[in-house]
Amino acid sequence: KQEVTQIPAALSVPEGENLVLNCSFTDSAIYNLQWFRQDPGKGLTSLLLIQSSQREQTSGRLNASLDKSSGRSTLYIAASQPGDSATYLCAVYGNQFYFGTGTSLTVIP
């Protein structure tokens, strides 16, 4: 069974800092990997989708990379802002979606 792990579980950084969130998965037989953002008490919002044949995707200040062979993905956030504070979840799709437990990010003004 696929297992998705996210490290760290929580992260607190000062505004303006660049940061990296990590996601690892045990089964490399995936179709894609996605990064989501979840605000407290809200649903998930898709940030980036990387197909298995791709290495990275970029959207604004966000850059996600995928190394399928090693079972790893990173989400890079440049010049963090207080509005980036949220929980970030990664999910992989093989025969179904598997989600990590998320990284809770706090950006301190």
Partner 1 sequence: SQTIHQWPATLVQPVGSPLSLECTVEGTSNPNLYWYRQAAGRGLQLLFYSVGIGQISSEVPQNLSASRPQDRQFILSSKKLLLSDSGFYLCAWSLIGGIDTQYFGPGTRLTVL
Alpha-carbon distance of 81 to 79, in angstroms, equals 7
Is 62 near partner 1 (CB under 8 A)?
A: no
Tell the smallest beta-carbon distance from residue 39 to partner 1 (Å).
10
32-66 per-residue burial string, b: 16 or more CB within 10 A, e: under 16: bbbbbbeeeeeebeebbbbeeeeeebeeeebbbbb
Handedness of CA 33, 57, 62, 43 (dihedral sign): negative
Shortest distance, position 66 Cβ to partner 1, whole Å? 15
CA atoms 83, 49, 100, 78: torsion sign: negative
Identify residues 80-109 at the interface with partner 1 (CB under 8 A). 89, 91, 93-94, 96-97, 99-102
**41 touching partner 1, by CB under 8 A:** yes
Nearer to partner 1, 8 or 16 (CB): 8
Contact between 32 and partner 1 (CB under 8 A)?
yes
Residues that bind partner 1 (CB under 8 A): 4, 31-32, 34, 36, 41-46, 49, 89, 91, 93-94, 96-97, 99-102
